[in-house]
Amino acid sequence: MSDAVRIAILISGHGSNLQAIIDAVEAGRLPGVTIACVVSDRAGAFGLQRATRHGLPAIHFPYPPRSAGQAARRMRDAELADLLERHGVQWVVLAGWLRVLSGQFLRRFPNRVVNLHPALPGQFPGLNAIERAFQAYRATSQAGLPGETGVMVHLVPDESVDAGPVVAMESVPIYPDDTLESLTDRVHQVEHRLIVDALSKLLTEHRQPAT
């Protein structure tokens, strides 16, 4: 019986972290990992094109508008879990997925949903974390002194936003001469490396037999 681990990668946008994972799988840096499918809630997400270029199932999975209410969201989350299970998915990687998954979904993949967030634990949860860190630095920093933001990879045990057991984290400096663009580039470089390192750690441990 194969011990390959099948993962789904959920995205909402450009998919640069998706690309980092694809590259790592193809280069053998995530041995025994198969990308079962790539899912986006946005039809125009460039990440879906990335997936198609690499021969991966690329699925647009739209959600109802917020006005439809929480019950409709939870129902759609259940349908998403059904979809992933049909693809044999064991682990779910949120790599720029901009929706909070309901407890109903998370219970289908207990301790097997991984999120990448461009901030350190407890800092700037939610959207636009890099921009908010940059603005906070500009508002509070002393002249000439660097600041700090970072990247973390964590498990998603519940509906808390960008919170859960941390798998890996790394600080990223903010320099006095940074622009938002230069800081964003530096954060993304760390994201691309850290998500691969964290998945390697998690999935290697997953494949090891219990003692």
Catalytic positions, written as ranges: 117
Residue 156: both structure tokens together:
């998603």
Instruction: For residue 105, give every residue at least 6 positions away whose Cβ sits within 8 Å of its Cβ, in sequence order, or none.
Output: 77, 78, 80, 81
**Angle subtended by helix axes 180-207 and 129-140, to nearest 10:** 130
Structural Rg of the chain based on CA atoms: 18
Instruction: For residue 193, give every residue at least 6 positions away whose Cβ sits within 8 Å of its Cβ, in sequence order, or none.
Output: 20
What gap in Å lies between CA 9 and CA 129, rounded to an integer?
A: 21
CA 172 to centroid of chain Cα atoms: 18
Decide: residue 101, CB within 10 A, 0-12 exposed, 13-18 middle, 19+ buried. buried
What gap in Å lies between CA 144 and CA 52, rounded to an integer?
A: 46
